[in-house]
Structure formats: structure tokens, C-alpha cells
Amino acid sequence: MVTLRNLLAAALVLGIYSLVMAALWVVLDAVDVAFTEAAVGAGVTTVFMLLAIAATGRHEKIAHRRPWLPILASLAVGGLLIYGTLDLPGFGDPEAPAQQHVAPHYLEQGEAETGVPNIVTAVLASYRGFDTLGEVTVIFTAGIGVLLMLGIVRRRRAGAGDDDDDTGERE
Amino acid sequence: MEALSHVNYWAAIVLAMIGLYAVIAPSNLIKKLIGLGMFQSAIFLVYITVGKVEGGTAPIIDSGHAVYSNPLPHVLILTAIVVAVSTLAVGLALAVAIKRDYGTVEEDEIDEQDRR
Amino acid sequence: MIVDILSWISIGIGAAFILVGGLGLVRMPDVFTRLHASSVADTAGAGFILLGFMFQAGLSLTALKLVLIFVFLVFTAPTASHALAHAALLDGIRPWTRKPKDPAP
Amino acid sequence: MRHALSLFVGLYGLWLALSGHYTPFLLAIGAACTAFAVAVALRMDVVDHEGHPIHLGYRIPLYWCWLTIQILLSALTVTRIVLSPRLRIDPVLETVPSSQKSDLGKVIYANSITLTPGTLTTSVTADGLEVHALTRRGMDELKQGGMDRRVTAVEGES
Amino acid sequence: MMSLAAVAALVVTVLLALIRAYLGPTVYDRVVAVNAIGTMTVLLIAAVGFLMGRPEFLDIALVYALINFIGTIAVLRYIKRRRARDAEEAERAEGTEGAP
Amino acid sequence: MTEHLVLRVISKLLIPPILLFALYVQMHGDYGPGGGFQAGVIFGAGLILYGLVFGTEAMRAVAPPRLLVVLACLGVLLYAGVGVASMIGGGEFLEYGALSADATHGNHVGIIIIEIGVGIAVASVMTIIFTALAEWR
Amino acid sequence: MIATHLPVLQVAVPLIAAPICVLLRRGSYAWIFTTVICWGLLAIAALLLDQVMSGGAISYRLGGWEPPIGIEYRLDGVNAFVLLILAGTAALMMPYARQSVEREVRPERRHLFYAIFLLALTGLLGITATGDVFNIYVFLEISSLASYVLIAQGTRRRARTASFQYLIIGTIGASLILVGVGFLYAKTGTLNIADLAVRVPALGETPAVLAAFAFITVGVLIKLALFPFHMWLPNAYAYAPSMVSAFLAATATKVGAYMLLRFVFTVFGVHFAFETMPLTEILLALSLIAVLAGSLVAVFQSDLKRLLAFSSVGQIGYLGVGIGLASVTGVTGALVHIFNHALMKGGLFLAAGTIAYRLGATDLSALHGLGRRMPFTMAAVVIGGLGLVGVPITSGFVSKWYLVQAAFEQDLWPVALFVLAGSLIALAYVGRVIEAAYFRPPPPDSEPVQEAPWAMQLSTWALIAGSVYFGLHTDLTVGIAERAATVLLAGAP
């Protein structure tokens, strides 16, 4: 995927990546994340990618230049990450600190306090509802931002009367 | 088992490294965005791995199960996925706008035009 | 018990069909022939595996959802294949034939 | 209107099948959601005899049974081909005549062909379907028109 | 137990499809691979749900079954759009040929 | 694209179930996986499918960009409005328990309402982005 | 009743205002509405600062859940002060916005522009007010996305490439912060800052904490644009619309500095950051390079906005010096500099925007003779520029005074020397502007230029006059900053 010069192919490989990730999320019990990955990966990302590639050109013209700096940077980050994971609790350890402090409260009290058996939804919408408000704001920012940057053409085919669309006209 | 307990993290790290390389190395802007998506997914994997509990099941309360995985990382990653999609959309829109302005989305060609 | 055996048999057949589909995907010479191979996995393979799970689920909503999955797959899979084949032809990809040098009859 | 009503019923059935929680609240919400989905579908103008073929009635399930058998048979054929050491394939791309009158019938025929392993519709034209077949034999079988007649029968006189 | 066998077969098939995606050679071969992996993922998610004793997660499989083909249709649209543009450009090139 | 027969018929057949499925996901986020964001994306995907097959002009007729922008705003405002309402109800910002006499019930209602806000906002934003990118020549 | 909700209103009000702004449809209505909101935010920020100063830290439980379970807003002297800076600069810039935006943004998109502006402000305020590390990430992304979009609105096409570059680098930075937060969560099980402040030091120097520290620091430094992570800044500021350059220059990097303070001093603790990890050495080295290199590059710029942008790179170095010294005096200096630099740089970018408004260009060659033709604007540039140099009676002098003092406290006289050298270089680039404006004759064929509209003058002069005022009356800023610094360093030996 990194070496594919054909952008269309690269975008498709991103789709495969998303599919495999979705399966992985299910295996790791993160069904809500899997659901999101499924909806986003299958529904919108590929379409957006293809539309953008249609607008910008299909082939990557230039080979990767100066490959040493990026390799160095990713090695540095990767090395630091590996160093950092050395003393993280092992995979699936129920005694890990992450499983001890606040998470039990969600799992034990969550349904009683919110009336929602899906704890992910309970935490998402209630305990950390403000994060989710932020999340909606991010999406909203993206939508308004895309409008502000590209606008939406009002094709003039339908007649001059339609020219007053003020969602951002483009010449 | 001890040796295997961190394999998941390392897989995520390898993905993160590939992703980071794919952000920095290509000259094509769309390609950079693809790399960015990979890099972010790899980080999500780290989080979800942290939340997995051995023998646990998905955190949807159900009478038949007693051990659940940690829901908090899932919530955080849901938010982060949304952020990633938004970033991707804005990035693609920017790339399209750049194509309009410069006629190309290759960073090297853009630099050349700017230098002129 | 009988249901279990039926389920196993069904899943086994489905798994076999799916493997055949995967194998065909690798062995076949061009896009169109590969599509034929993958349609084995999409229809027969998926059908038998879902049928096997249906035996396990018994008469319940789960089984109904499995049916729904199968129905939707049956609608979307050929549409996707068709769209893909159409796109490939439009893009100027010519089907592989047994004797490439042979003039068309 | 007939279509909209039956679409509502169909979608509400889908809701009940999916839901699994039959509290009065959720049932009511389900009705509201179904109505909304139907409204959007009507606005999209996708609710007509093509998008919602109720007129085919009981003939469709019978056809599906027949099709399932066909699919199994050709799946076995393709399996044999894939597993044979020397891929005994002889792909052909030809136009197959179709006798359906309506677009819907043509689509059913086209998708049935694609669904059957070994044959694949690549485009639908005025004088028939362009079909890619894995073997010459598959194509010949198709050209005998068994499937074509059945689809036309399903299509009925509409 | 049998679910496990199904999962194994599915994983092997995903790997085979990945090989196809890697080999290419055309974009369409990769789309075929994506489609196949999509179907496999539907089944895989269903199988894992049964394996873990939580078959109610079939909703995720259902999402894929419903909307995974949108990407393929986008490919077709992409090709059509590009052909239209190429034709337009060719026309324009012909039109300007006469001019110096 | 409009001339493409198979796609047209199959999309007509599949779009209503996709939309309904999105609404189902929206309403059952409490009990199973899913919720407002996923529902919004799936609903948006249904609209995107329509746009891909029937063209952006038809898409405009079904979902005018102006309406979508208004809906996106309303989605965000609905969410934030629940926060303000719970503040008026005597709680903290977004303390849904204050919406009702029974805190658990209030929480449940609050969660449902904000999820609807999320769903509306996400679905309209996805469609806006699609329209903006698709109409780009 | 309202008073208890002030912390959340500070962030929720602009958040709610943004969609309303979109619904208003008309650029002029949106401007009036945004102005009202910004001044309201300033009032809220002032009230909050007053509450914090008189009653100590405020905690607000969002959703009514107890802190480690839910998200908490926690205001102490530091973030209340930064909130005031953010709301204040936004409010003061609003009179300027109308004409500037009318010139640079197309009519049918103006209301969207103001909505995005409000969202950027929401993000920045949210980062500052929150007491939850993941919430920081979410609001960081809101502000970043909004900034990318705002920068891309520049009239020249390079605005788009600058924005894209910022998007890539900024997203990597935010992702690194996300990894760091993930490591911290894996080791402590909490996301609340106050809770982390107790639990992280108890862990000691384990690899995970070290890695988390490294990732978060690098991520924040990218957002702060400290050398060598400043690559995105010059182009982004130089090609963004005038209003956006001024707003981002005055606020975005300041919030970066705030995040650095918060993570380093509160989450990881002074002991860990500065004694276990060599943060002092690293920060001082990078900052001093930033001061010298940024200022030197600024001297050779031929465009006023680019010159100011590189000067920002240098001035951010001063912030780094103050934080790196890790003493009450140093942090006070940094905090005061956050305040002063917001005023000065904001005013200068506004003035540059005014020049662009009248001349259509900000090349230094276009500035020839402008001292006589746009006397008020150029006077503002000169006063602001002198502030950058750190001439006494301007506020720039105050912050540098504290930095030098902090350096001498620790016998780091080379640091003090570097700070002074940076000032001298600053004198060189400010001198170039002055030379161009006052000592060069206007081009003979130049068209007559009017002084800028009064509303734009008003904003510019409000910021510049503020920088002079707070240079003379240092009690307010220094007083608050000193108390805030004491709070931050409370855990220090």
C-alpha cells in the first residue's frame, strides 16, 4: 500500500485494511468500534477517497523522495512505542490498572444509573457526554469546513432563478 | 504466554510505523492522507488492546456473562474514529482545492510552482 | 443432536466452498474469471455457512437475522460483480481467452 | 400508494425482525421510523413497481427455489474447474437474448445470471444481455434459454 | 468447534484474497479481492459472534451485507466520470487543433 | 449513471431497507452495538448510494444542500439544547438526570434525544461532504 | 444560579452560537451575532478569573458525574488567565473583522466563516478549561480542524498548501498526544488531570510513563510550533486571511504553551519532568535556537506578514525559555509573555492586515513611504514592533525582564545573554520595517492611499494600546501570573 503508485489501488487497500480492522475489533470485544468501522469504512471513506481521486488524478507521479528521513522518523516513533509498551500490562490482564480504577464503576453501576445495558453507549452519551458533544462539533466543523472550502455548485442549467443558493457558490 | 502478551501492541506499532512512513515519504497529497488514516488506526489498536480483558466479552450487560472488557477505551476510540473521518474529509477537500489552484497534487511540483 | 450434526455438515460444506472461492481467486487468469470464482464463495459458501449457523441458532431472531444477511448478500453481491465487470470492460480490459492469438470466430 | 403501503408493511416487518425488543415504546418508535423511511423513499421516488415488486407475488419464492438448485449445480461445476490441476476454462463473452418485457424482468434475469457461478452479466443492452461465461458449455446452457423462460414467467403479464 | 473450522477457512480465504490484492495486476483484480474480503468479513463477524456466545452482534455483519457494495459502485462511477472527462478533453483538443 | 439498469433497480430495492436499518441502529444503540454516529453514517451511506446511482441532480432534489446545512445545525443544537435544558432543570450541563423526576429515567431519555441529535448531524454532514466532493469536476 | 455554570458556559456558548451563526445566513448578521457572543465570553472569562482569584480553584462536574467517572472542568489561576486572554483577543478583534472579512471572503460564505471562527474559539477555550486529558484531545481537534479551514480561506493559493501542511503535521501531533494519553491511561486507569497528578508520580520512572511523556511533549511542541517543529507556522500565518493570522497568532500557540504547562507541571510533575527527564536542557536548547533562528530568518523576509510569522517562531522561543527554567519567576515570565505577545502580535498582524486592505500587498517594498500615508497604522506597527524588541515601557520589556531575572536566579547567564541577543535581532527586523515605512520615499507613480477604516483602526489600537498599558501597569498581569505560577509549581521542591 505504501509502494502502490496507483492511488485507486491504494484507496482500495485502505478499504481492505478497514475490513480486517473491523474483524479485529470484534475479536477484541469492541463491537461498537467494529460497527463504526464497518459503517465508515464500507459506507463513506472509500467513496470520499474515490471522489477526491477522480478530482485530483489517478497516478502518483513522483516516487518517494528522500526516503531516509521518513524511515528514520518512523523508526524513532516505533522504537519509542516499543520501549513504552515494555511495561504495559500484558494483553487481557484483568488486574491491569486500566481495568481497576473507573471502568468497574461503569460496568457495575452503568445500567442502574442510566438504564442502558450497552455500557459503551452509556459512557459515550452520559458519563462522557461532553466528549461526544465535542465529537459532534468536530463532524459539524468538518461539514461546514468542506462547504466553506469547496462550496456546492448550483448548476445553472435549471435557469437563472436558481442562482441565489447561498450555501457557497463556486464559479 | 508471557512473551506473547505484547504481540498485539507490537503489531499495532508496526502498522503505526508503516503509516507514519506513508505520511511523510510520498509526494502525493492523497497518499499522505491514506497514510494518516493507517497511522491513526494503529493507535486505535493500541487503545483497544488496553481495554481487552482475558475471558471477557463485549461490554453490553447481559445476564449470561460476568466478565466484560473495559468500555472506556471503546468510547475514546469511537470519538477518535469520528475525528479521523472528519480530518480525512477536510484533507480531501483541501487536496481538491489545491488541485484547482495548482493543477497538481504532487508536493514537489507545488513547491516548484511556489518557488517561481 | 441431529441439528448439531446438520450444522457441522453445513458449515463444513460452506467452508469448503469458500476455500474453493479463495483458491480460484488466486488461480484464475483475469478479472472476469476471478469474479466467477469469488461468486462461488459469495453464494454457495456464504449460504451454507449461514445455514449452519441457523441450525445452531434454532428458531429465533438470530436465525432471522442470518436469513436477512443472506438475502442482502444475494442482492448486493451480484450487483457489485456486475458493476465491477462493467467498469472493467469500460476501462478497456479485454477478457482472457484460451487461445489469445486465435482470431475471433 | 399501494406500493407505499406495502413498503410500509414490509419495512415494519423488517423492523420487528431486527428489533427483538417489543415494548410499546419501541413498537411505536418503530412505526414512526418506518413511516419516516417510507417518506424519504417516496421523496426519492424509488417506490414503484421496480423498487418494490409486490406484483410478482408468490411466483418469486418458487423461482428462488429453482435458482438455488441451479446455483448449487454450477457452484459444483466451478469447484471442479478450480480444483482441476489444469484450469479447464474457456471464457467467452457473448450476447444472450432476453425475452423479458420490463426492466425489472431484465434485472432479475441479469442478476440471476451473475449469481450463478460460472456466468456473469457485464451489461444490459437493448437486444439482450452481454454475458461472460467461464466455459463454452456454460454459455451454451444459458443460451438454451431455460432460465430466460422462467424469469419471463415470473415477470408475468405486467 | 465447527465455528472454529469456519473461522479458519475464512481466515485462509482472506489471506488468499490478500495475495490477489497484492498481486493485482489491475485495479479491478483488487476490487474483486476487496469484495471477496467483504463477504468473508461478514461471515467472519457472524462466526466470531457465535464463537464468543454473543450472536446478537450480527448487526455488524448486516451492515456490511447492506452497504459494502457502495464502494464498488463508486468505482464504476469513477470510471464513467473519467471516461466522460477524457472524451471532453479529446473533444476540446480537437476543437483547438485548428487554432495556432 | 442513470441509464444503468441493474444498479437502478437494485438500488431502488435496497435503499429503503438501508434507511430503515439506520433508524433501527439509531434506536437500538441502548441495547446492542450502534448509536447515533453509526446510524448517521449508514443513513448517509443510503443517501450516498442514491446520489451515486441517480446522479447529484436527483440528490439535490431529495436532499437540498440548504436543508442539509440546516439539519446539521439542528442536530448540534439538539444535543447542546439537552445540555442547556438539564441546566435549566437544575442540574449541571448535560446532567440528563435533571430532565425527569427519576434520574435513571431522565438519563435514558436524555441519551435517546442526544443520540438523535448526533444521528441527524452526522447524516447531513456526510451527505454535504459527498455532494461537495461529487459535484467537483 | 448562573454563576455556578460559568465554567461550562465559557465553552458551550460559542459552541451553540456556531450553528446559530450558520442558520443566520447573512454575513452581516453573523458578524453582529459573533461580536455579541465574543464580548459575552469576555465578560464570562472576567467573572471566572475574579471567582478564581478570590475563591481558589473551581471545579465543574459535566453531566453531574463525580470527576474520575465523568469529565470535569477545573479552573485555577493559570487557565482562568489564559481564558481571559483568549476571550479578550477574540472580542477586541471583532470590530476589525467586518471589513476585513468583507474584503477577503465571498459574501455567500461569510456566515460560514464566522461559524468556523466561533468553532476555533470553542476548541481553544475547551482545551484551556477542561480537566480531562482526552477532552483536551477532542477540543484540540475541533480547534485544529477549524484552523485548517480558516487558514485555507486565504486569498492566495499558497494558503491552501500551507493549510494542508498544517493538517498533516497537526494531525500527527495530535495523534502523538493521543498515544501518550493512552499509555497514561493504561498505567493509571484514569483520564482526569487531577487524578493523574496523584497517580503518575506514584508510578515512578517506568518506560510507559517515559514514553508517554516523550509523546505528549513532542505532540504539544508541534502544536506550540517550537523549533524544530515550527515548519507549519510561517506559511500558515503568512497566507491566512488577515483576521485569521491575527487571531491564530494571538491565541493558538498560546494554548499550546498552556498545554505544555499543564502536562509538564500538573500531570507529570516538576520532579519527573525536570529532574528525571532532561526537559530543562532540551527546552532551553530548542528555545534558544528558536529565538535566534526565528528572529534571524525574520530579518531577511521581504514580506511583512512572513516577517511577523518568523518573529512568532522566535517569540515562542521565549515562552519555551520561561517554561524550561521551571522556576516561579521563569513561569511568571512565560505567562506574562503569553499575555503580552498575544496583544502585540495580534495588534501587529491586524495592522499588517490593514495595510493589505489598503494596498493589496504586504511586501516591504510596498510599504515605502507609508509612514506619511497611513500614519496611524504605521505608528501602531512601530509601537508593536518595539514591544517585540522589548523596549522599556512596552509590555515586551516586562516579560523579558522576568525571563532574564529567572535566568540569573539559576546563574544561567548565557541564557540571559541569548535573550538579549534575540532582542537585538528583533531590533534589526523591526528596523527594516521602520526604514521602509519612514525613510524611503513613496514610489513616484503610487496611487494615493487612505488611512484604514476606523473600525479596523480601533481593534488594532486597542491591542497595541493594551500592550503599552500593561507595560506600564504591570501589577495586574504580573500579579495574576505570579499567583498562577506559584500554584503550578506548588509540587516543586
Q: Give F101's contacts (C-beta < 8 A, 6+ positions apart).
A: none
Question: What is the mean pLDDT of the segment spanning G329-357?
Answer: 91
Residues on chain E touching A58 (C-beta within 8 angstroms): 82
CB contact under 8 A, C24 and D82: yes
Check if the beta carbon of residue G378 is closer than 8 Å to that of residue G364.
no
Check if the beta carbon of residue C79 is closer than 8 Å to that of residue F53.
no
- Tens of pLDDT, residue by residue over A54-74, are 888 777 766 656 678 888 888
Residue of G nearest to B21 (CA): G172
**pLDDT at residue G415 is higher than 50:** yes
The residue among C46, E27, E41 whose CA lies nearest residue A19 is E41
Please report the pLDDT score of residue A80 as a whole number.
87
- Tens of pLDDT, residue by residue over G290-305, are 999 999 999 999 899 9
CB contact under 8 A, A96 and G186: yes
Q: Give C94's contacts (C-beta < 8 A, 6+ positions apart).
A: none
Question: What is the mean pLDDT of the segment spanning E38-49?
Answer: 90
The partner residue sitting opposite F33, judged by closest CB among E59, E76, E77, is E59
Mean pLDDT, chain G, integer: 89
SS3 G192: strand
Residues on chain B touching F42 (C-beta within 8 angstroms): none
CB contact under 8 A, D132 and C24: no
Mutate to test the interface with A, among B18, B36, B53, B108 (most CBs of A within 10 A): B53
Percentage of residues in chain F having pLDDT higher than 90: 52
User: What are the residue ranges of helices labelled H in G225-365?
Assistant: 233-239, 242-261, 270, 279-299, 304-325, 328-359
Cell 482441476 identifies what position?
A: D84
* ipTM for the complex shown: 0.94
**pLDDT at residue D76 is higher than 50:** yes
CB contact under 8 A, F6 and D47: no
Residues on chain B touching E53 (C-beta within 8 angstroms): 57, 64-65
**pLDDT at residue E5 is higher than 60:** yes
The partner residue sitting opposite C42, judged by closest CB among E26, E39, E79, is E39
Q: Distances from the Cα of G130 to the Cαs of G8, G60, G127, G263, in angstroms?
A: 9, 9, 6, 12
Question: Is F32 part of the contact surface with chain B (CB cutoff 8 Å)?
Answer: yes
Please report the pLDDT score of residue G365 as a whole number.
83
Residue of F nearest to G112 (CA): F69
- Tens of pLDDT, residue by residue over F34-46, are 888 999 999 999 9
Q: Give E45's contacts (C-beta < 8 A, 6+ positions apart).
A: A22, A23, A26, A34, E57, E58, E60, E61, E64
> Residue A4's pLDDT band (boundaries 50, 70, 90)?
low
Question: Is F135 part of the contact surface with chain B (CB cutoff 8 Å)?
Answer: no
Q: Distances from the Cα of A62 to the Cαs of A59, B27, B107, G248, G335, in angstroms?
A: 9, 7, 9, 34, 46
The partner residue sitting opposite E16, judged by closest CB among C22, C56, C57, is C22
Judged on CB neighbours under 10 Å (0-12, 13-18, 19+), C5 is exposed
Please report the pLDDT score of residue G204 as a whole number.
80
Distance of CA B35 to the CA centre of its chain: 8
Question: Is A47 part of the contact surface with chain E (CB cutoff 8 Å)?
Answer: yes
Q: Which stretches of chain C drop beneath a pLDDT of 70?
A: 99-105
**pLDDT at residue G444 is higher than 90:** no
Paired with D95 in beta bridges are D130
Please report the pLDDT score of residue C103 as a whole number.
47
Q: What are phi and psi of G397, to 5 degrees?
A: -65, -40
Q: E 38-57 residues with CB below 8 A of D?
A: 56
The number of distinct structural domains making up chain F is 1
> Residue A169's pLDDT band (boundaries 50, 70, 90)?
very low
Check if the beta carbon of residue G124 is closer than 8 Å to that of residue G252.
yes
CB contact under 8 A, G186 and B95: no
User: What CATH number corresponds to the domain at position B70?
Assistant: 1.10.287.3510
- Tens of pLDDT, residue by residue over G149-201, are 999 998 888 999 999 999 999 999 999 999 999 999 998 989 999 889 888 88
Please report the pLDDT score of residue A87 as a whole number.
81
Q: Chains C/A: 3 or more C-beta pairs closer than 8 A?
A: no
Q: What are phi and psi of C91, to 5 degrees?
A: -75, 0
**pLDDT at residue D60 is higher than 60:** yes
User: DSSP for A70-112?
Assistant: HHHHHHHHHHHHHHHHTTSPPTB-TTSHHHHSSHHHHHHHHHH
What is the distance in angstroms between the CA of the first residue and the CA of the last residue of chain B? 60
d(CA G318, CA G326): 13
Question: Is E85 part of the contact surface with chain B (CB cutoff 8 Å)?
Answer: no
Cis peptide before C103 (omega within 30 of 0): no
Q: Chains D/B: 3 or more C-beta pairs closer than 8 A?
A: no
Enter the C-alpha cell of residue C76.
448486493
> Residue G127's pLDDT band (boundaries 50, 70, 90)?
very high
- Tens of pLDDT, residue by residue over G82-122, are 999 999 999 999 999 998 888 888 888 899 999 999 999 99
d(CA G164, CA G143): 15
Paired with D130 in beta bridges are D95, D123
Question: What is the mean pLDDT of the segment spanning A9-28?
Answer: 89
Residue of F nearest to E67 (CA): F45
Residues on chain B touching G172 (C-beta within 8 angstroms): 20, 23, 36, 39
d(CA G378, CA G434): 8
Question: What is the mean pLDDT of the segment spanning G277-291?
Answer: 89
CB contact under 8 A, E63 and A39: yes
Question: Is E46 part of the contact surface with chain A (CB cutoff 8 Å)?
Answer: no
Distance of CA F93 to the CA centre of its chain: 23
Dihedral over alpha carbons G1, G5, G6, G12 (to 10 degrees)? -140
Please report the pLDDT score of residue F129 as a whole number.
94
Question: Going by DSSP bridges, is the β-strand pair D92-96/D128-133 parallel, antiparallel, or unpaired?
Answer: antiparallel
* Of the listed ranges A35-44, A152-161, F126-135, the one predicted with least confidence: A152-161
Enter the C-alpha cell of residue D22.
417489543
CB contact under 8 A, F52 and E80: no
Residues on chain E touching D20 (C-beta within 8 angstroms): 56
Q: D 117-146 residues with CB below 8 A of E?
A: none
Mean pLDDT, chain A, integer: 81
Helix (H) / strand (E) element for G60: namely: strand G58-61
Residues on chain F touching B89 (C-beta within 8 angstroms): 129
- Own/partner contacts of A91-94, CB < 8 Å, gap of 24 or more, are A91/B4, A91/B5, A91/B6, A91/B7, A91/B8, A91/B9, A91/B49, A91/B52, A91/B54, A92/B5, A92/B52, A92/B53, A92/B54, A92/B55, A92/B56, A93/B5, A93/B53, A93/B54, A94/B53, A94/B54, A94/B55, A94/B56, A94/B67
Q: Give F90's contacts (C-beta < 8 A, 6+ positions apart).
A: F98
**pLDDT at residue F70 is higher than 90:** yes
d(CA D2, CA G425): 82
CA F24 to chain D, closest CA, distance in angstroms equals 7
Question: What is the mean pLDDT of the segment spanning G345-355?
Answer: 92
Q: Distances from the Cα of D94 to the Cαs of C80, D97, F4, F6, in angstroms?
A: 20, 10, 19, 18
Integer Rg of chain F from CA:
18
For F49, the domain range is 5-134
Please report the pLDDT score of residue D138 as a whole number.
86
Mean pLDDT, chain D, integer: 86
Question: What is the mean pLDDT of the segment spanning A26-35?
Answer: 90
Question: What is the mean pLDDT of the segment spanning E4-25?
Answer: 88
Dihedral over alpha carbons G73, G207, A89, A32 (to 10 degrees)? 50
CA A107 to chain F, closest CA, distance in angstroms equals 14
**pLDDT at residue D141 is higher than 50:** yes
Paired with D96 in beta bridges are D129
Dihedral over alpha carbons D51, D11, E67, A20 (to 10 degrees)? -150
Q: D 17-46 residues with CB below 8 A of C?
A: 17-18, 20
Helix (H) / strand (E) element for D129: namely: strand D128-133
d(CA G275, CA G269): 10
> Residue F49's pLDDT band (boundaries 50, 70, 90)?
very high
Please report the pLDDT score of residue A153 as a whole number.
55
Highest mean pLDDT: which of G146-150, G265-269, G360-364? G146-150
